[in-house]
Amino acid sequence: MEADLDRILFHETTILRRLGELAAQISNDYRDLELTVIAVLNGSLIFMADLLRRIPLPLKLDCLSVASYHGKTETSGEVIFKQVALPDVMDRHILILDDILDSGHTLAAIRDKLETAKPRSIRICVLLSKKKRRARHVDADYIGFEIEDEFVVGYGLDFMEQYRNLPYIGVLRKELIGEPAGYR
């Protein structure tokens, strides 16, 4: 899999060190609050597992599964929720976890949907945030790393469901994406 990468962006040790900082910040911010973490599957699985084990607070965990991609690297704009019922979050403080903030479509749709379940508050935590103009405005409250507008894989992030199990994050070679540079 490493041969498919143009370069490695974040090694595992770098990621885990940053997660320690994020976890400390989150633990401090939520120390007296009823926290429910909502992880967005599948991309946030590995990030969630490593982050939550560094947060020594009582919390509840739920997962949401959405689809917004049709196989390639571009978001369709349309976000499909794969489950019928939303988690019971009434009066709870929600922290949404996702792998990456790109166009903003996915997190904006999830935030809007969860708001209908009447939580006390909603915050967003992403491992990666791309520096770009977003199609929809989303403020992430906690960001692991800011990156350029390149397609990355590993540590949960996929390209056509591959590479999620790479323990680090790297930029996928452009030839493999099958689109010219500046594909978006």
Residues assigned a catalytic role: 102
Residue 102 interacting with ligand IMP (CB under 6 A): yes
Answer left, alpha or beta for residue 85, where phi above 0 means left and psi between -120 and 50 means alpha: beta
For residue 109, the minimal CB distance to ligand IMP (Å) is 8
How far is 24 from 56, CA to CA, in rounded Å?
Answer: 9
Q: Smaller CB distance to ligand IMP: residue 4 or 34? A: 4
> What is the contact mask toward ligand IMP in residues 17 to 56, using x (rule: CB under 6 A)?
--------------------------x-------------
Q: Any idea what the Cα angle at residue 119 is, between residues 116 and 124, rounded to 5°?
A: 95
Chain-centre distance of CA 36, in angstroms?
Answer: 16
Nearer to ligand IMP, 18 or 72 (CB): 72
**Which partner in Mg ion, ligand IMP, none is near 38 (CB below 5 to 8 A by kind)?**
none
| Helix/strand/coil for 17 | helix
